[in-house]
Amino acid sequence: MQEATPETTAGPLAAIRERMAAAAKMARRAREGIHLIAVSKTRSAEDIEPLIHEGQMLFGENRVQEAATKWPALKQRHPGVQLHLIGQLQSNKADEAVALFDMIHSVDRLSLVTALGKAMEKHARYIPCFIQVNIGAEEQKGGCAVAELPALIAAAKDSGVPLAGLMCIPPASIEAAPFFALLAELAARHDLPQLSMGMSEDFDTAIMMGATYVRVGTALFGARSSPV
């Protein structure tokens, strides 16, 4: 197999960085405060490493089991890489998640907060977490209800789970800006500085609305060959 080279991904990664910089400039924000998470779910090490060679150091995975099969070796070869869990987390996987990931973006219920608090104490590893808010009140989607957010924030503090901010995935096929604006308002109200919002199709808008982490997969790697 032909060895992957930096040129393989220089185009998409450079284009996304340029778009991020342009959105930050329009919003009169410092580009350095906005972080790109390359969503690498279903991607192989051969797909991922060219991005690392281009300087991309933050990656996101949806599932603990999949991440555990490929990332320990990748992180050993590339010690500066950070791994973020952006998918739903089962409470019984909290221990493994705390050991493997550097940030968790999908805390959404009390049982998970409790499990994470115990796992962090066990490993003496207190990794920053985001509370995922079901910003569009969609039954099929993860995240806590807006009305339940204050109680979940209080529970996280009581359990010793460090909170970085809030995360959301707006409803599909609807203008995302109002949902991003609501998440930013909620974060400000609760004094949470970080916002994980925006994906391939809307990260420019998310940056305009205050995103500090954007999660981009398809625009970096191309469409997946099969559904997940």
pLDDT in tens, the chain (228 residues): 334 444 443 489 999 999 999 999 999 999 999 999 999 999 999 999 999 999 999 999 999 999 999 999 999 999 999 999 999 999 999 999 999 999 999 999 999 999 999 999 999 999 999 999 999 999 888 899 999 999 999 999 999 999 999 999 999 989 999 999 999 999 999 999 999 999 999 999 999 999 999 999 999 998 765 444
Query: What pTM, to 2 d.p., does this model score?
Result: 0.92
Residue type, 18: E
**Rg of the Cα atoms in the chain:** 17
DSSP string, the chain: -PPP-THHHHHHHHHHHHHHHHHHHHTT--GGG-EEEEE-TT--HHHHHHHHHTT--EEEES-HHHHHHHHHHHHHHSTT-EEEE-S---GGGHHHHHHH-SEEEEE-SHHHHHHHHHHHHHHT----EEEEB-TT--TTS-SB-GGGHHHHHHHHHHHT--EEEEE--PPTTS-SHHHHHHHHHHHHHTT--EEE---TTTHHHHHHTT-SEEEESHHHH---SS--
